[in-house]
Structure 1
Amino acid sequence: MGLDTRVSILRREFPASSHYATVPKLSEFAYLTAKIENDSDFPLLPGKANIFFDDAFVSVSALSLVMPGQDMEVSLGADEGVAIEHRFLKRFNKNQGLMPKRVSEQFDYQIRITNNRKKDIEIDVFDQLPIAQDKEISVKAITPSFKDEKTGATLDDESKIKWQAALSAGEKHELPLSFIVECPAGQLLSGL
């Protein structure tokens, strides 16, 4: 009768690029993903792999079959070296006149990203404009400007916002988010 034995099959560094993503409205963390290229001449077999990042053990990951020349993505989890803050700034009434038929309210938020790491990072920041369930209610983005490529912001058909930002080591970056909600007078707005 033999005993089960664990044997290390391979210990190797692979070329990798890392990328951060965050949803500040839901979490104060930035999550790191590595895209790794199998530049060896042999396939990487499915199984568990110990993942290291910056010479520190990060996680155990289950790998699928990766053929030579193929890429794989590995989640490295939350990185506390990147601080995320989502702040509500103000809500104010934009109405004019004594008895308007429609009312407008502006909502202002700020997302702050602080790169406390000693290297530059790239990060995707996700948020969403409110989606009206009633055709009498409209939502209009004020900032960011989706027409100005310098903002790094895009808006899709589902009102999802994506900013792409590059931060130097130690840099803080602020992303403004403002929108106006217009509805018939007397209608209550909730969930904003």
Structure 2
Amino acid sequence: ATPMGEASPAGEDMAATSSASHTTLTQTTLSAEYEISIPYTIPSSGRQEVVEIQQYSLSAFYQHSTVPKVDNDAFLLAGLTGWDKLNLLPGNSNIYFENTYVGQAYIDPQNTSDTLYVSLGRDKKVVVKRENVKDFTSKKTLGTFKKDEYAYEIVIRNGKSESIFIELEDQLPISKNSDIEVEVLDKGEGNYNSEFGKLLWKLKINPSETKKLRFRFSVKYPKNKQIMGL
């Protein structure tokens, strides 16, 4: 992290030493206390000063995530394991990837997952496109009802020089009205959660490879009603 101003250890010999090496952690049931055993010079500049209290090294695995119904970009995520043993404090963190600042993330130690995911930003080398397939889209009238069928195709291209793992999510409509029926016609090999209408794919895509996913659903409703946003 790069603070607005950095406090410095007092004395020339200590200036080259990280304060993390001189920090003792005392942990209780409800709190964690850090004691720094070296003196510090805090300038009277009126600016926020930051003191380094710990340094940790963790291994990470990388994967991509995209929800093209909302945003066509793919996001690179770093998954960190073992983070729950570090006594992290809640708060914002500055994220750097390959020596480049990519943004901020909120660290929540109350997260119950054994993996902490940190977003490293948009990856423009992974191209995602979601389009309506008109050849499989239709509108019919069946007596006092209408039945509309919809089909969507999602295209993912990996423009990187290495394989990627990507989680892709989409959503089908959910009916809370007994007069409106939603039927899944083709899940496109995705995992479907009927409670939330969520479709999920977990894919490995090789370098320069393009994958296409297609799913279809229908909505049956009284012809005196209008269904929007599909």
The alpha carbon displacement at 1:130 in A equals 1.2
Check whether the contact 2:68–2:129 (CA below 8 A) recurs between aligned residues: yes
- The yes-or-no answer on 1:25 pairing with 2:69 is yes
- Residue 168 of structure 1 is matched in structure 2 by 206
Check whether the contact 2:144–2:223 (CA below 8 A) recurs between aligned residues: yes
Summarize deviations over 1:4-56 as a string: whole Å, max 9, x none.
476777777531111211111110111222112459xx947547765444565
CA distance in 1, matches of 2:178, 2:208: 45
The equivalences for 1:89-104 within 5 A come to 89-90=133-134, 91-95=137-141, 100-104=143-147
Check whether the contact 1:51–1:58 (CA below 8 A) recurs between aligned residues: yes
Q: Could you say which structure has the higher helix fraction? A: 2
SS of the residue corresponding to residue 124 of structure 2 reads strand
- The yes-or-no answer on 1:181 pairing with 2:225 is no
Check whether the contact 1:94–1:105 (CA below 8 A) recurs between aligned residues: yes
- The yes-or-no answer on 1:120 pairing with 2:163 is yes
Which one is further off, 45-54 or 122-131?
Answer: 45-54
CA distance in 1, matches of 2:172, 2:51: 51
Summarize deviations over 1:139-185 as a string: whole Å, max 9, x none.
1111125xxxxx24332412111111111111111111211111233
TM-score (norm 1): 0.74
Structure 2 unaligned residues grouped into runs of 5+: 1-39, 44-48
- The yes-or-no answer on 1:153 pairing with 2:209 is no
CA RMSD of aligned residues (A): 3.2
- Residue 58 of structure 1 is matched in structure 2 by 102
Structure 1 unaligned residues grouped into runs of 5+: 146-150
- Residue 131 of structure 1 is matched in structure 2 by 174
CA distance in 2, matches of 1:121, 1:85: 17
Larger Rg over CA atoms:
2
- The yes-or-no answer on 1:111 pairing with 2:162 is no
Identity %, equivalent residues? 26
Name the count of aligned residue pairs.
Answer: 179
